[in-house]
Amino acid sequence: MLMPKRVKYRKTMKGRMRGQTKNGASFAFGEYALKSQDAGYVTDRQIEAARVAINRHMKRVGKLWVRIFPDKPITRKPAEVRMGGGKGAPDHWAAVVKPGRILFELSGCPAVVAKEAFELASHKLPVKTKYLSRAELGGVS
């Protein structure tokens, strides 16, 4: 699974997911993109499941870019543990996704194949998504 090699702090505060994304809202690499419509945490396993779904559908024709990285540790306390006793141990990693963030980009395949692949990937993700293409935007990045 995806995770950072090192982090400054083992446990982070929860934070808030208000407003639109600050960066990562425009095309950087591919011709087609999957853009988030909601805010939420996308876990390392969800990113991997979506990536595998896209690659399987495309039969590894073309190139895929994953534009999000899970760098936030999510902590959990063990089952049936009483309140108190501090914060739980890091359990898994997640990417903070805000509305407008491009999650995946594709190039080198037909538009129909890209749209179907992103449709399959969107079922694996906890946020509502939207399919974009550079051609529909008028070639503007």
User: Could you tell me the CA-to-CA distances from 78 to 10, 46, 85, 90, 91 in Å, in that order?
Assistant: 17, 22, 11, 11, 10
CATH of domain 32-74+89-133: 3.90.1170.10
Structure-derived torsion over alpha carbons of residues 121, 123, 124, 128, reported in degrees to the nearest 10: 90
**Tens-place pLDDT, residues 7-59:** 999 999 999 999 999 999 999 999 999 999 999 999 999 999 999 999 999 99
pLDDT at residue 136 tops 90: no
Q: For the chain, what are the domain ranges? A: 32-74+89-133
Place 1 in a pLDDT band, splitting at 50, 70 and 90: confident
